[in-house]
A and B are shown apart, each in its own frame.
Chain A
Amino acid sequence: MPASLRYVLFAVWVLALASTPLWADNYFVRLAIIIAMYTALVQSWNFIGGFAGYPSFATAVFFGLGSYAGALTQIAGLPSILAWLFATAFVGAFAALFGVIILRLRGHYFAIASFGVVEVVRLVISSWGSLTGGGDGLNVPLVTGGPNAVAQAFLAVMITIMLVAFAVTVAVDRSRLGFGLRCIQQNEDAADMVGVDTTRYKVIAFVLSAMFCGTIGAAYASWTGYIDPSDSFSILMTVKVPVMCLLGGPGTVLGPAVGTAVFLLLEEVLWSNFLEYNRAILGALIVLIIFFLPGGLLKISLHKIVARVIRRNNDAKGAP
């Protein structure tokens, strides 16, 4: 599929999500919000996990810290949009600090360390009752308006974040930064040797992977009106996000959108049709897809399949 057609399809998809309030009921509007939100989370993960090839499980810590930073500043009286921007900057700074430390680790070690950060921060948040309300959670000032108006407002917010994350992805993909991250992903030592300042590049990718999660966490807190540690620092989220990216195509511009859409729609279909076995079926599907499509759905190329068939034929002819 030519790249331009892919972008057109993506634009159609975004319009479909954005227009749900016009043609569908609240169930679909809510689904569209969730899809936009996860797409932005997966696009974020793509910077560190896809471009740089560092298997991060830190999504939930960025999301959770963002939701607490947003909630606390709103309770302190900051208007919601400023609170979201504060959460973005706060989470970005947190990622820079932690990135410098844990990005010294590679592969599995980095994955485990990033996972550990989620647990540590979750425990700190739930123990620090005087600030965070501990296990009781926090009530976030609600956005005023009827349920429909609120849903439409948050749909607009999540789609905006998703589009900003998308624009940054496109910019990174075409830039020197994206090139350097791909070098790191393929052979970090060789990248160092050709002059890529690997530490700096990895930290930048890690911060990019964090910032939007912070914004989304804060916006999510405002949307639901209530946050608690186990919901904000969800292990399930931290695992789902990389899976969605791998499903779509890590390190590609449109892979996150494709993977998220396919995953969430599958999840919805399975929920409604197989209430008891939906998780098991979803799990089996994920294993199958990742096993047979290691490069993600976007890497299926008709061109390559045809080329492979031709090569096989030639091999068969060439064999003695």
Chain B
Amino acid sequence: MTAFLELNGVSKSFGGIRALNDVSFTLAEGEIVGLIGPNGAGKTTLVNVMTGTSHASSGKVLFGGNDVTNQRPYQAARRGLSRTFQIVQPFPHMTVLENVAAGALFGDVKSKGDVKSAMETAREQLEFTGLADRADHPASNLTIAGRKRLELAKSLAMQPKVLMLDEVNAGLNSSEIDGALALIRRIADRGITILLIEHLMKVVLSLAHRVLVLHHGELIAQGTATEMVNDPRVVEAYLGQKFLRRAQGGKPHG
């Protein structure tokens, strides 16, 4: 496996606050990698730095061998670095179909560039994500689960090489999560590299080949999901003792 996306000593400061501190890791093509860590650990900032929403204060982001540290968001989108937002960002007065078509029209550099073929691509993505029956509804009418899927469909229409999913499963009930799990697996089957930012350990454990753990802006550990669950630093920083006992089959405390 070759390094596809590489972060090299990336730091990001906002004023005096260091949101990211010397973060380095690589993603290989086709991998599903989980990114976990407590709230405020810098997970979303990390995605922002990788997609041009904000720029690293120091360090480098490399994609396919090119330095993309200072790219603008639209350039990231066209390169194939796509993301979904924790707080969904639809075009509110457009239909669901048009929202997804926007991704196909502008984000997919291989598209023909006309509105009609973008609409066709969008329809395929809506089928894939199970939103086809909502195609002509205004995007603002969707439920939270629907909007998350819309974000996903929009990102997929951009034909990404790397897809960063920022808590796409937050706020979903357990049957919706099972649906989302199956969906993410099918996306990975297309050969798309996935960075999964997630609080739900069930999702991370069942999907991720590898897990990165971020704490106070630093990458404190990385390894397979099982290794991470048993790593004392990760338990200390994020999972908590209760989780460990439960994972080991012990009785949960209290």
Contacts and interface: CB of A to CB of B under 8 A. Distances in A.
A191 B102 contact: yes
A185 B94 CA distance: 11
Interface residues of A, number: 19
B77 A193 contact: yes
B91 A183 contact: yes
A268 interface: no
28 contacts: A174-B115, A175-B115, A176-B113, A176-B114, A176-B115, A179-B101, A180-B105, A182-B94, A187-B92, A189-B73, A191-B106, A192-B72, A192-B73, A192-B77, A193-B53, A193-B73, A193-B74, A193-B77, A193-B89, A194-B77, A194-B103, A194-B158, A195-B106, A195-B107, A196-B74, A196-B106, A197-B74, A198-B74
A179 B115 contact: yes
Interface in A146-193: 174-176, 179-180, 182-183, 186-187, 189-193
Could you say which of B91, B94, B154 has the most chain A C-beta atoms within 10 Å of its C-beta? B91
Counting chain B CB atoms within 10 Å of each CB, which of A174, A183, A192, A195 scores highest?
A: A195
B: interface residue count bin? 20 to 34
A192 B74 contact: yes
Contact of B78 (A187, A191, A195): A195
A193 B115 CA distance: 18
Interface of A: 174-176, 179-180, 182-183, 186-187, 189-198
Given A176-B115, A192-B74, A195-B109, 16 more contacts: A175-B115, A176-B113, A180-B105, A182-B94, A186-B94, A187-B91, A189-B89, A190-B89, A191-B91, A191-B102, A193-B89, A194-B154, A195-B78, A195-B108, A195-B158, A196-B106
B93 A186 contact: yes
B83 interface: yes
A119 to B, nearest CB: 33
Contact of A179 (B72, B73, B90, B102): B102
B90 A194 contact: no
Contacts of A176: 105-106, 113-115
Interface of B: 51, 53, 72-74, 77-78, 83, 89-94, 98, 101-103, 105-109, 113-115, 118, 154, 158
Contacts of A198: 74
Contacts of A183: 91, 102, 106
A198 B73 CA distance: 10
B115 A180 contact: no
Nearest to A180: B106
Nearest to A192: B73
Contacts of A193: 51, 53, 73-74, 77, 83, 89
Q: Of residues A176, A182, A190, A197, which shows the largest number of chain B Cβ atoms within 10 Å of its Cβ? A: A190
